[in-house]
Amino acid sequence: MQDRQQEFAILAEEIKKLKEQRNAVILAHLYQRPEVQDVADFIGDSLALSQQAAQTDAEVIVFCGVHFMAESAAILSPDKTVLLPEEKAGCPMADMITAEELRAKKKEHPNAVVVCYVNSSAEVKAESDVCCTSANAVKVVQSLPEDAEILFVPDQNLGHWVGLQTGRRIIYWEGYCNTHHRLQGDDIRRAKAEHPEALVLVHPECQPEVVAMADGVFSTSGMIKYAKESPAREFILGTEMGILHQLGKECPGKEFYMASNKLICPNMKSTTLEKVKWALEELEPRITVPEEIRVKAIDSLDKMLAVK
Ligand code: 13P
Ligand code: SF4
């Protein structure tokens, strides 16, 4: 363990030097391994990271996350070199819808406004009217005309939660996050029996049964903010376990319990410090988006970023 920590410290120093040489910024999602979060310039949820990617002055963006996140950065900052240290880090939910499938669904609902969770491919974004993340999905839907029929893709659980919050008419796609969808009501009941004083905080990618049992439903950054500001001392978490690292740093003295030990996203965990270093050395693997797709996809991302 001690040896591994020493290795991490050496790698972190090397990454720091390479980052300066390359004029690079490292963005890391809150589900990344702790040592990867620790070398990042910005750590956050999907929304915060896409805002950073759109604003940065750096020439190179190293995206420690999954493919759709790096792809969104490439859409928003086409003049930058965007690197995804582990090329195979995908999101199974994003793969649950293709542009062709979406086009067919749009034909069935020609008047629907397509709201697309950022956990989707550039091609699907290009077919959509507006994107959202878990942090702003409710606001994005509320920004649409009240009588609009909404086609929400690809996460059925986020779509369901947004429908409840807004009272809007929503047609759902049947996608889901393999990690969050696994969490069951029984897991929450068990955790509450073990920690009766704890508040239950869950991500809206969880199933409706789980969301209904929660004291709060938040994006990952939202969960950290809430836990920090809450007078409560104990929390049961229904999201990916990577969040524990920043919670530990930002909420000293508070206790966090995972609602289940199944809450691990293997894709988020596939980025390592070795791969970050290699990406900075080689400027590979690069994520690019064909220009004809990018110009269509950027509209839906820009519209999302304009919603305040
Ligand atoms: P947020 O970053 O919006 O909290 O979403 C979590 C997620 O699953 C990203 O893949
Ligand atoms: Fe995709 Fe879920 Fe992993 Fe996020 S946590 S990358 S939504 S599989």
SS3 21: helix
The response to whether residue 179 sits with its C-beta less than 6 Å from ligand 1 reads no
> Where would I find the H helices in 109-219?
122-126, 137-142, 156-166, 185-194, 208-212
* Burial letters 121-153, b for 16+ CB under 10 A, else e: bbbbbbbbbbbbbbbbbbebbeebeeebebbbb
**Position 95 pLDDT exceeds 80:** yes
Cα of 144 from ligand 2 centre, angstroms: 26
| Ranges 51-55, 61-65, 274-278: which has the least confidence | 51-55
- Is there an atom of ligand 1 within 6 Å of 219 CB? yes
Cβ 118 under 6 angstroms from ligand 1: no
Q: What would the mean pLDDT of 173-177 be, rounded to a whole number? A: 98
Nearest ligand to the CA of 92 is 2
**Res. 98: pLDDT tops 90:** yes
271 band by pLDDT with thresholds 50, 70 and 90: very high
* 251-263 pLDDT, tens digit each: 999 999 999 999 9
Gap between the terminal Cα atoms of the chain? 45
Residue whose CA is closest, atom 2 of ligand 2?
177
| CATH for the stretch 2-90+268-288 | 3.40.50.10800
Share of the chain above pLDDT 90, in %: 97
Q: Which amino acid residue places its CA nearest to atom 7 of ligand 2?
A: 177
Domain spanning 183-258 has what CATH number?
3.40.50.10800
pTM for this model (two decimals): 0.96
Protein residue whose Cα sits closest to atom 3 of ligand 2: 265
Return the residue matching tokens 């697309």. Answer: 116
Tell me: the pLDDT tens digits for 73-82?
999 999 999 9
Of ligand 2's atoms, which has the minimum distance to the CA of residue 177? 2
Per-chain mean pLDDT for the chain: 97
Are residues 64 and 86 in contact, defined by beta-carbon separation less than 8 angstroms? no
Whether the predicted pLDDT of 2 surpasses 80:
no
pLDDT of 181 higher than 80: yes
pLDDT at 1 over 90: no
3-state SS class at 170: strand
For the chain, residues classed under CATH 3.40.50.10800 are: 2-90+268-288, 94-175, 183-258
pLDDT tens-digit readout, 128-149: 999 999 999 999 999 999 999 9
Written as one letter, the residue type at 27 is: L
The C-alpha atoms of residue 180 and residue 263 are separated, in whole angstroms, by 7
- Please say if the pLDDT value at position 275 is more than 80: yes
- Nearest-ligand number for the alpha carbon of 30: 1
Q: How far apart are CA 61 and CA 52, in angstroms?
A: 10
For the cut 80, the answer to whether the pLDDT of residue 189 exceeds it is: yes
Atom of ligand 2 nearest to the CA of 267: 3
In the predicted structure, residue 190 carries a pLDDT above the cut 70: yes
Average pLDDT over residues 230-249: 98
Neighbour tally for 34: CB within 10 Å: 13
Q: How far apart are CA 6 and CA 3, in angstroms?
A: 5
Instruction: Determine the topology of domain 94-175 in CATH.
Output: Rossmann fold (3.40.50)
Q: Which residues contact 214 (CB under 8 A, 6 or more apart)?
A: 188, 200, 201, 202, 206, 238
How far apart are alpha carbons 188 and 236 in whole angstroms? Answer: 8
Q: Which is the closest atom of ligand 1 to the Cα of 221? A: 4
The per-residue pLDDT for 308 is: 86
